[in-house]
Structure 1
């Protein structure tokens, strides 16, 4: 059983790390789009697609990198009491509170999948002047949420094993 848990945690963390490392470079794409937007507004006719594309890239950046950020402990934590606790108490609290995150991510994924299916079936488009199809960004959002859900479960397993004295 421990070998299966170890395999799951290592596989999920490797996948989240790989996706997160590749996703980090989306910031350069977003910078390029915003730079083009600034130049086009200053010297040429303003492009109608740059602002919305930058928003889509930012959504992909945040959601696809969420699992990797969680793995690195990069999410914000309320440190009013947490910093003074022992490692064991922190692990107990983390293993309990992560259940709320997992429940939230499951509901978010459920809604995201339903919204993605709707966007695909009905050809949903944005209400902006550019009017891009919404399905691609909604699918990317679902992938990011799913990766973060897998990473949250892996973190929970790691915390439970740490409480039992098992090193993964």
Structure 2
């Protein structure tokens, strides 16, 4: 594979690995918010109007920013009816074809995310809850997560093409 493709794959893999591992710690922040809300409601009879929405935003950031890392690690669910019986080359070809379909989907999702984020920024869009937080920050994070998944999908496509050609492009800690 050309050097530029190898560099791209390594850069995207490393970047998504760092983002994914940092994102893993959001679970503790979510636990903290929900624990605080539970204690405030039960011990002090003071329910919080913002706690559920903040935890929902954190969860959205958690799975959107962690999606590219999960994709890189091969952690997404795969139907294995025929797949395990195929040769490595056949699996690589089928993977490359499905990644192309994924790229189309993620491209449409990215376009919608950019449009929605732009709208939220331009008009100061807020949630329709009593707390009414601005939606631009979470929409920006989600759009960035889709972009990371798109970049990772292109890297996986390059890896699959290289694997189909018999020259693996793996760099250690990547997809199984």
> What's the TM-score, normalizing by structure 2?
0.93
When the two chains are superposed, the root-mean-square deviation of aligned CA atoms in Å is 0.9
**Structure 1 residues 85, 165: CA separation in 2 closer, same or farther (over 3 Å shift)?**
closer
> What's the TM-score, normalizing by structure 1?
0.97
In structure 2, the partner of 1:32 is: 32
Give the whole-Å Cα distance in 2 for the aligned partners of 1:66 and 1:4.
Answer: 24
Give the whole-Å Cα distance in 2 for the aligned partners of 1:8 and 1:100.
Answer: 21
Question: Which has a greater percent of helix?
Answer: 1
Give the whole-Å Cα distance in 1 for the aligned partners of 2:43 and 2:123.
Answer: 38
TM-fit CA distance, 1:7: 0.3
In structure 1, the partner of 2:61 is: 60
Residues 38-53 of structure 1: pairs in structure 2 closer than 5 A:
38-44=38-44, 45-53=46-54
SS in 2 for 1:109: helix
Give the whole-Å Cα distance in 1 for the aligned partners of 2:40 and 2:14.
Answer: 40
TM-fit CA distance, 1:83: 2.2
In structure 2, the partner of 1:107 is: 108
In structure 2, the partner of 1:166 is: 167
In structure 1, the partner of 2:71 is: 70
In structure 1, the partner of 2:123 is: 122
Q: How many residues align?
A: 168
TM-fit CA distance, 1:165: 2.1
Structure 1 residue runs of 4 or more that deviate by more than 6 Å after TM superposition: none
